[in-house]
Amino acid sequence: MDKKVPFVNFKRHWEKYGKEFMGVVEDRLSRGELILRQDVLDFEKNIAELVGTKHARGVNSGFDALHLSLRALEIGPGDEVITVDHTFVASIAAIHFAEAKPVLIDVGDDFNMNVSQIESVITSKTKAIMPIHLNGRMCDMETIMRIAKSKGLAVIEDAAQALGAKFNGKIAGSFGEAGCFSHYPFKALGALGEAGAVTTNSAEIDEKILLLRYHGIARDEARTQKMFGFNAVLDNLQAAILNAKLKHYNEWISRRLEIAEKYREGLGEIKDLRLPHFDDKRYFDVYQNYAIRSDKRDELQKYLESNGIETQIKWPVPNYSYDWYPYEQKPLPNTEKICREVLSLPMYPELTNEEISYVIEKINEFYL
Ligand SMILES: Cc1ncc(COP(=O)(O)O)c(C=O)c1O
């Protein structure tokens, strides 16, 4: 075996599926099916079916999904949205660009929103809670929905990393007013470029997303101009690719679960490691990432790197700690601790058993 285990391996993905996807691309290009064609409509039907919502709209990215959802819910200047810092910066940026204020609370040991802190930060300005289902694991939606309902708050789920994950048997993106997905190429369901989706059970929100994503122009025959909007439509070619990829999605998730189980078996005995297995039957995790925690994280990462194994730190510092961060924010101790300890191991369906064994072997060797 070539002693290199990259963090992602698109080349291998392409070797396996490239021919199938090129067939789709060639067909759509030869027919000029470029903008808002049938593939986008099919994708929206497929996602709504998978998530179990009445509607879904294809947009250009996970960021657009979040930003447009906030705007569709008329959340803006003077409003506050409760979320976490331990997320990709785009979640917080979406609130910022909707001109509302992000109010960040801490996360628990499963990397997700510590729901016991929500009520303490609710003010008269709070309009929504934005749970982030990180690493393919959902937040405690029972508590979040209960609080939201009792306080009259909207819930916008950032499900960018959680397509197919479940809580109490219900799928990510089907709990709140809106569910937001990213289909960035290295997501579990990734396009060949930027892509995203919004799911909702509300016809009104769905209609607003439709207008906001394409210059405020209605899809009626007259193409009525109804408002100002953005240009954030899902590209038709990407929709066609995503539809083709959806046929493989269950198989890919099964493989992710298999890899997670192999990591658990091979690394479970190492005292310094905290693995992402939380044994709570309410959750079905899809392992978008396999994020471990270690007190010796930096040395471990270096050791793996010197053995050809690529890992990533998501994320090394909280977003609020940057000089340019524009909002006042209390420190979040568990978020900061996770920043010091977290390390993501390679996790993708094309990873071979040999590569997984090699990663396990080298981690065990580090702790000898
Ligand atoms: C949790 C989370 N939210 C939002 C996003 C933004 O998605 P995109 O990169 O498609 O804009 C991502 C993407 O990495 C993400 O992981």
Please say if the pLDDT value at position 357 is more than 70: yes
Q: What is the pLDDT of residues 272-317, one digit of tens each?
A: 999 999 989 999 999 999 999 999 999 999 999 999 999 999 999 9
Please say if the pLDDT value at position 1 is more than 60: no
d(CA 366, CA 150): 50
State residue 2's pLDDT score. Answer: 60
More confident residue, 255 or 2: 255
Asked if residue 182 has its Cβ within 6 Å of ligand 1, the reply is yes
Asked if residue 173 has its Cβ within 6 Å of ligand 1, the reply is no
State residue 66's pLDDT score. Answer: 99
Mean pLDDT of 327-356: 98
CA nearest to 315, candidates 330, 334, 296, 335? 335
Q: Virtual CA dihedral for 237, 243, 222, 208, nearest 10 degrees?
A: -110
- Secondary structure, 3-state, 304-320: HHHCCECCECCCCCCHH
Options 101, 127, 187, 314, the catalytic residue: 187
Mean pLDDT rounded to a whole number for the chain: 97
CA of 161 to the centre of ligand 1 (A): 7
Confidence of residue 192 (pLDDT cuts 50, 70, 90): very high
Contact (Cβ atoms closer than 8 angstroms) between residue 232 and residue 212: yes
Q: How far is CA 140 from the centre of its chain?
A: 16
Q: What is the pLDDT of residues 44-86, one digit of tens each?
A: 999 999 999 999 999 999 999 999 999 999 999 999 999 999 9
Mean pLDDT of 161-190: 98
Sign of the CA dihedral with 237 first, then 243, 247, and 251 last: positive
Structural domains of the chain, with CATH: 11-105+113-246 (3.40.640.10), 249-366 (3.90.1150.10)
**Which atom of ligand 1 is found nearest the CA of 288?**
16
* Annotation marks residue 271 as catalytic: no
Contact (Cβ atoms closer than 8 angstroms) between residue 226 and residue 207: no
Mean pLDDT of 161-171: 98
Q: Which residues, in sequence order, are CB contacts of 290 under 8 Å at separation 6+?
A: 135, 259, 260, 263, 276, 344, 345, 346, 347
Asked if residue 238 has its Cβ within 6 Å of ligand 1, the reply is no
Using DSSP's 3-state secondary structure scheme, residue 66 falls into helix
Query: What distances in angstroms separate CA 328 from CA 101, 126, 247, one per listed residue?
Result: 10, 16, 45
Confidence of residue 3 (pLDDT cuts 50, 70, 90): low
Does the pTM surpass 0.85? The reply is yes
Asked if residue 90 has its Cβ within 6 Å of ligand 1, the reply is yes
